[in-house]
Structure 1
Amino acid sequence: MRQQDRSRADRPYRQRSAWPRGSRQHDGAARSAATGKGTRVSAAPTIGIAEQAAALAARLGRATLPKNPIVVYGSSTVRLWPDVPASLGRQDVIPVGFGGATLQDCIEFYDLLVRPLAPRLLVVAAGTNDIEKRNAGPAEILALVETLIGKARRKQPALPVVVLTLKPAPFHGERMPAIRAANALLAEHLPACSAVTLIDIYAAFVNTTDQADPRFYAEDLRHLNDVGYAAWNRAIAAGLPPP
């Protein structure tokens, strides 16, 4: 085998789009992530959450992954995150995301998707979809985050957890008060929890009037563009332990 022809097993894991390559949604999402423009993309692929989770679990099972990685677990912002090793400058972060996922979904599929990876640190990046899809209130968001942490620690009692505040988007204009209230409750309660750190990513995406800044978002005004992912990378990198 020629030196440049690395086997599939030797390549670092990169989460793939759940849309078929060549489809309008796949190509639009790729252009949006690369240029900050492109066609509108939906919050989730047309396949269901369970199907996405099963496909993702299969890909993770086939991939060569770092031992005891940092796992960033969440919804489409994680799923569409481009080239994580290059973005963060480290090889030990694994994105595990599926489009449209709620905190409830993250709890349901934790044993399938995350537990087999035996993470040394869990980063929770979900919650906005619970408000959008189920009209969940701040207290329910907090309870779901605490439930997810409890499930993660069932077999890893000392697992440190980082929770990201809920990310705003212009698409969520009428839901912004609920997002702010949920973030305020997380900030009030999570710092008192053992080995739990809260990273405020909300502040990175709002303007001086406390509204989501459109310059960070793709044309659908809910998913991040390249400028948005640069801000996302900075916020997350600042809260992670050194490699």
Structure 2
Amino acid sequence: MKKILLLLNICIFILGKEIHAQTNFPYYQDIQEFKKKDSLKFPPKNGILFIGSSTFTKWKDVQAYFPGYSIINRGFGGSTLLDEIRYVPDIVYPYHPRQVIIYCGDNDFAFSDTVTSADVLNRFKILFELIRKEYPAIPVDYISIKYSPSREKLWNKMKSANRLISNYLKTQIHAEYIDIDPVMLDANKKINKSLYLDDMLHMKPEGYRLWEKVIKPYLIKD
């Protein structure tokens, strides 16, 4: 059954480029905004591409955290891995990046009670392979799903998905699993709620500063 669903997702992607040109899928307008922005000033090739959900969407000043690196932020909305898959031709292929950094997966669980950790792994595999197909040699790195306090009931699923994706990436070349969990803990090894906004889902600048320290060693210089 899972293999059938995997093939179905691939078929959806193959047809997606034509379909989403005609139909307003979720986040369609976000993608159009990217295209409008690119038409005014297209990002330089060979940059580091950040793709993913609202944790990246809200990191609007990400370039300021990584001076000396050319960062392209194409995080959109509260996207899931299925949304990332659908829009790969729009948010990845045009930019000719030297590296792709992905943060996505927590919304897959939050938006559906039936999604399992194995489902998230399979979705990630599709996204990874689609990027690999176009850019076979560039590094593709995944940031672990953060354990937001507002989604505590999903933590076990998230931990399982993180473990599965980490193990999968160990079998791939030019691929890294970036574990942000240790820096998100307080002195008592509990989730540090002070790093989060009032919604207990999205991070304050203090959280992003910790992410900067973890992510920077993985970034590929010119």
Following TM superposition, the consecutive aligned residue runs of length 4 or more in structure 1 with deviations greater than 4 angstroms are 208-211
| Equivalence for 1:169 | 148
1:203-242 correspondence runs (5 A) = 203-207=182-186, 211-242=190-221
Q: Percent identity?
A: 27
95, 99, 110: which one aligns with 1:132:
110
SS in structure 1 at match of 2:134? coil
Gaps of 5+ in 2: 1-24
| Equivalence for 1:200 | 179
Deviation of 1:210 (Å) = 5.6
TM-score by length of 1: 0.75
| Equivalence for 2:66 | 88
2, 11, 30: which one aligns with 1:52:
30
SS in structure 2 at match of 1:153? helix
1:173-184 correspondence runs (5 A) = 173-184=152-163
Cα distance in 2, alignment partners of residues 130 and 207 from structure 1 = 27
CA contact (8 A) 1:57 1:113 kept: no
TM-score by length of 2: 0.82
Deviation of 1:140 (Å) = 1.3
Deviation of 1:55 (Å) = 1.6
1:102-121 correspondence runs (5 A) = 102-121=80-99
The amino acid that maps onto 1:219 is: D
130, 148, 154: which one aligns with 1:151:
130
Structure 1 residues 205 and 66, CA, compared in 2 at 3 Å: closer, same or farther? Answer: same
The amino acid that maps onto 2:50 is: V
Cα distance in 2, alignment partners of residues 177 and 207 from structure 1 = 19
- What per-residue deviation string (whole Å, max 9, x for no partner) do you get for residues 41-77 of structure 1? xxxxxx9412222222322332242222110100111
Instruction: Work out the number of aligned pairs and report it.
Output: 197
SS in structure 1 at match of 2:133? coil
- What per-residue deviation string (whole Å, max 9, x for no partner) do you get for residues 156-212 of structure 1? 222321111112211111111111111111222211112211110122213466643
CA contact (8 A) 1:68 1:119 kept: yes
The amino acid that maps onto 1:110 is: V
CA contact (8 A) 1:168 1:206 kept: no
CA contact (8 A) 1:218 1:224 kept: yes
CA contact (8 A) 1:170 1:211 kept: no
The amino acid that maps onto 2:153 is: E
CA contact (8 A) 2:99 2:220 kept: no
SS in structure 2 at match of 1:197? strand
| Equivalence for 1:78 | 56
CA contact (8 A) 1:170 1:221 kept: yes
CA contact (8 A) 1:124 1:162 kept: yes
Cα distance in 2, alignment partners of residues 143 and 206 from structure 1 = 28
Cα distance in 2, alignment partners of residues 76 and 205 from structure 1 = 17
